[in-house]
């Protein structure tokens, strides 16, 4: 029974994603509000492989490794 419910939810998300696509394609300048679950189904996600804090530490790493960030 759970499998059927999961399939129904997936079908609902895909139908909503198609509707968003049609609306956005009809008028690209118009903003289309999208439910977060539908957006996730469409491939929108937060990339958390690199955190902002990791980027802030990159200067220290480059200095330790002798990197010059492309400076001459």
Whether 63 has a pLDDT exceeding 60, the answer reads no
Whether 34 has a pLDDT exceeding 80, the answer reads yes
Question: For 37-61, how does the pLDDT look when each residue is reduced to its tens digit (9 = 90+)?
Answer: 999 999 888 777 777 777 765 555 5
Nearest Cα neighbor of 38 from 49, 24, 26, 56 is 24
Supply the pTM of this predicted model. 0.58
Q: Which residues of 12-35 are buried (b: 16+ CB within 10 A; e: fewer)?
A: ebeebbeebeeeeeeeeeeeeebe
């Amino acid at each position: 029974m759970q499998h059927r419910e999961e399939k129904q939810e997936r079908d609902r998300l895909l139908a909503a994603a198609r509707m968003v696509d049609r609306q956005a394609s009809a008028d690209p300048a118009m903003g289309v509000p999208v439910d977060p679950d539908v957006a996730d189904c469409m491939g929108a996600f937060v990339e958390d492989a690199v955190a902002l804090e990791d980027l802030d530490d990159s200067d220290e790493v480059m200095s330790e490794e002798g990197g010059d960030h492309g400076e001459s």
